[in-house]
Structures are given as structure tokens and as C-alpha cells.
Amino acid sequence: MEMTPGSTPSAKPVLSPTRAIGDAWNTFKANPWISIGVGLVLCAILIVGQMIPFVNILFLVFVAPSIYAGGAGFFLRGARGENPSFESAFEGFQRWPSATGVALIIGIVSILIMLPMFLTIFGVAGILALIQSRPGQTPDFQPAMGGVMALAMSLTYPVLIWWSMRTSMALFAVMEPERPGVMEALKRSWSLTGGSFWRLFGFCLLTIPVAILGVLALCVGVIPAALVIYYGWAHAYLQLRARA
């Protein structure tokens, strides 16, 4: 941007979690019935796909990412005021390689982050079981081992949350018109979320009372609350793009 003499550069807009939720509510009100229909259909497909024995693993790896991507594209279009069609919620299958690749990388890295915690927990559980199996031995080490397990979890979950926040916009990037590939979508998410971790984390915390309000509304409000949260993520993505 060109600067005039004596002027100062304007500060980039920052992510506002409250504005994202407020805009999400307005977007939902503008498209309530199609949003509810899309949400119910996608949710039903995900539930049924995960209930089929043996097939559910293949479904989670090769089908679910495209469904999530299609939903992200639908909510993103709604957040942009484009009045998306019902069919647009399934356009994630047109980006199947990118959506699946992004989901696999995010999932594999998440598992690697949690692996030390799992190994620690199983190792501690094994040692404790061995001590308890010996005659005359009392579980004196239980508090210490519990502390080790708590320490492992306290070290793992912050890293996992950080990774989740940094990659949270990848599927929205996948559904952009220019159809970015796997690594490009991840790079865009990484770039967009840089410096906004705490605001994204605050957004996640803000979705908790939204969900609680949905449950308190005789559970009828659960679906609208979930849709508002999804629209909120789309609006957060647009805010981050505006500051890029």
C-alpha cells in the first residue's frame, strides 16, 4: 500500500471471536432451512458410515474428509453471502485428493504428537499392574505414577491444540475456487493462523456457551447451535484472510 509523507501504516485487523459468532448467527438466520438440511444430511452420512463394521475405517480415511470439506465449502459460501445450493455441500468429492491428503497429514501428525503420551500411559499401567501382581506388594507408587501420566498429558495436549489451531483452516483453503493442492492448503492455513493462536483458542472457548445454549433450548437448539459454530469457523477464516 502506498504511503503518503507523514502517514503511518494502518494496523492489520485482528481476528475477533465475538464478531465471528455474531456474523455466524446472522448468516444462519439468512439461510436457516437449507443450513439445517445440509447439516442433518452430512451428519447422518457421517454417523452411518462410522457404524458399519470394518468399512468404518475406510470410510473415515477415504470418504469423511470429502464430506467435511464439502461442508466447509458450503458454510464458506454462506459466510460470503453467496446463498449456496444443497448440492454444493458435496463438492468436497470434487476435491477428493486434496481433502483426503490434508486430513491424512493432520491425522498422522496428531497421532505422532500423542504417541509419547500413549506409550507413557501404557508403560506406567504395565508397571503398576506388575507391582500389584506380586504378593505382599502394595501400590505405593500409584500417586507417583499418576503424576507421571498427568505430566505426559499436560505436555501433549497443548502441542496437540496448537497443531489443531494452526491447521484448522486447511479444509476451507481446499474449497477455494483456485483448488489448491494438499501442501498449498496446509501452507495457507499455517500462514493465516500465524500470530492468531490465542484468538482462535478463544473462539473455541466461545463455542462452548453456544453449544450449552443449544442444549438448554430443550435440545431443539443443538442443531442451530452446531451450525452457528460451523458458520463461525467460516467467518473466522474470512477474517484471517482479510488480514493476510
Instruction: Kindly state whether residue 194 falls inside one of the protein's structural domains.
Output: yes
Amino acid 141: pLDDT = 60
DSSP 55-112: HHHHHHHHTHHHHHHHHHHHHHHHHTT----SGGGGGGGGGHHHHHHHHHHHHHHHHH
Q: Ramachandran region of residue 85, left (φ > 0), alpha (ψ -120 to 50) or beta?
A: beta
Tell me, what's the pLDDT at 153? 86
Q: What is the pLDDT of residue 1?
A: 43
Furthest C-alpha separation in the chain: 84
In a domain, 98, yes or no: yes
Given this model, what pLDDT does residue 11 score?
62
pTM of the model: 0.88
Measured between alpha carbons, how far is 8 from 15 in angstroms, rounded to an integer? 21
Range of the domain at 80: 17-102+171-243
Which pLDDT value is given to residue 2?
Answer: 45
Spell out the alpha helix ranges (H) of 134-181.
142-166, 170-174
Residue 136 falls inside a structural domain: no
What is the per-residue pLDDT across 167-183, written as a single tens digit (0 to 9) for each?
999 999 999 999 999 99
pLDDT at 22: 96
Beta-carbon neighbour count of residue 95 at 10 Å?
24
Q: Is 72 exposed, middle or buried (0-12, 13-18, 19+ CB in 10 A)?
A: buried
**In a domain? residue 203:** yes
Domain count, the chain: 1
Query: Domain for residue 2, yes or no?
Result: no
Q: What's the confidence (pLDDT) of residue 128?
A: 74
Residues of the chain below pLDDT 50? 1-3
Q: What is the SS3 assignment for 40?
A: helix
Set of cell numbers at residue 231? 458458520
* Within a domain: 226: yes
Q: 176 lies in a domain?
A: yes
Distance CA 27, CA 21 (A): 10
